[in-house]
Structure 1
Amino acid sequence: MSVTGVWVVGVVPDEEIRDLLSAAAQESSLRPVPARCDVPEGLAWWRGKAQESMFSTSTTSPGGWSADDDAFRLSAFIDSCYDDSEHAESLRDDVMNQFPPDAVEGLFAATARKASPFSALAYALGPDAIMRLPGWFGDFLLDAEQVRTQLPAAEEILALTGVRRRDVVERIHAWMTGLGDDPDHDADELLDGPLRVLHHAISTGQGAAGHVRWY
């Protein structure tokens, strides 16, 4: 059975964010660490592998990549840190209902067959960069003030140029073809889209939220 990974980032009215933050705090789901997620061990292993490629050039698909064992291990680690409890999924539904339905500037959504777009970004950027992004492995709730506070770090991590951007885009493509089935994924938008939403949140005085989902 095929699955689709999704990462959605959107603006949310500040008053709604405060209600969501309150609900998340009451349910202890703002920054959950599932018991199956061994963060210290997983991050230590990942840091030791971060500079290496976890993919080999595909021998059957021109321009594609084949995942090595380390890629499967990293994917499993990131997935293990995903809170799929009932209250966390309910909170994600509540967040989704607050996103603007048709906004270009205020909504970003990345999808991929058989792969998580956020995991692809995590592999491409590395553990130290990804842990500096707001929230927890792609899930976050920020009020307007928090967006302003978090934006400089997000820009430093995502607003890449030159050789660094080229390398990150190539690593995203490797993930999307080696673990996923999405050779045409827009890797540049995976970097630019979340920043566009954060800038729009600041310009309109709104909060922002993001979450990872599987369908």
Structure 2
Amino acid sequence: MGITTAWSISTHDDDFIGALAPRLLPLIAAERDEPLARERWNRWRREPLPDYRTWWNPFGQSCRREADALDSFLELTASGEHVQKMYDGLSPDDEFSLLTDVWDLVTDADDIFVSVQSKEFAVRSCFHAIGPDRAALLPGWCGNFLLTSAEVRETLPAVEQALGFTAKERAKAEGQDWLGYGDDEESVLDGPLRMWRRAAAHARGLCGVSVTVY
């Protein structure tokens, strides 16, 4: 069965960020603090993956260790069960919805970046393209974060370092981003940094969530 996923990064005022914090921050912490998730993250940092075009060898020549490292990375960058509750529903008694209570509140298209993918996760392609050292500079956990306007300003230099490229570095990253983009679609190498810069310029906070929508 196929899936459709979305990675969204949206700007909000600090009052909204403060109201959302008790719902989202514990979910992100639960994802980050899972021992298996930390093990997968540390393995990826120790063993960065090669060119994605070598991942599935049609001749069956990949060694078991390489296959295990790939499986670990794929699980690391899939939507986690805790943050997924932001879309599926936090509890039977809580009518909060990521769709209506976060995304639908954004009225300016410039205030949100969304990458919707079929059978794939945008965070996965972004992280592989930039590599573990750059990904480690991004706040939050695997594309999920909630930041006040002050935290946006504080983290902007690190995000600039993670997602800023020389021409040669950009070409290399684009070569490892396997997502296809239409004329009106924003790359995962561009959208997140644009959102950080926009939020910092307008004294806004940021909400980033990677989920499976169906």
- Judge same fold: TM > 0.5, yes or no: yes
Aligned to 2:144: 139
Distance 1:73 1:58, change over 3 A: closer
Aligned to 2:82: 83
The CA deviation at 1:10 is 0.6
Instruction: Provide structure 2 residue ranges, at least 5 long, that are not aligned to the other structure.
Output: 59-65, 91-95
Q: Answer yes or no: is 1:47 the counterpart of 2:48.
A: no
Q: Answer yes or no: is 1:93 the counterpart of 2:91.
A: no
Q: Answer yes or no: is 1:118 the counterpart of 2:123.
A: yes
Secondary structure at 2:187's aligned position in 1? helix
| RMSD (Å), alpha carbons | 3.2
Secondary structure at 2:29's aligned position in 1? coil
The CA deviation at 1:51 is 5.8
Aligned to 2:132: 127
Aligned to 2:61: none
Aligned to 2:70: 71
User: Distance in 2 between the 1:93 and 1:138 partners?
Assistant: 19
Aligned to 2:17: 17
Distance 1:57 1:144, change over 3 A: closer
The CA deviation at 1:193 is 1.0
User: Distance in 2 between the 1:171 and 1:185 partners?
Assistant: 17
TM-score (norm 1): 0.76
1:154-175 deviations in Å (ceiling 9; x for gaps): 11111223111111111112xx
Give the alignment of 1:135-174 within 5 angstroms: 135-173=140-178
Q: Counterpart of 1:166 in structure 2: which amino acid?
A: A
Distance 1:98 1:138, change over 3 A: same
1:159-194 deviations in Å (ceiling 9; x for gaps): 223111111111112xx4xxxxxx446897211111
Q: Counterpart of 1:146 in structure 2: which amino acid?
A: E
Query: Contact between 1:143 and 1:207, CA under 8 Å: does it hold in 2?
Result: yes
Aligned to 2:199: 201
Instruction: Provide structure 1 residue ranges, at least 5 long, that are not aligned to the other structure.
Output: 61-67, 177-182
Q: How many residues align?
A: 198
Distance 1:86 1:20, change over 3 A: same
Query: Contact between 1:14 and 1:143, CA under 8 Å: does it hold in 2?
Result: yes
State which drifts further: 151-160 or 188-197. Answer: 188-197
Q: Counterpart of 2:102 in structure 1: which amino acid?
A: Q
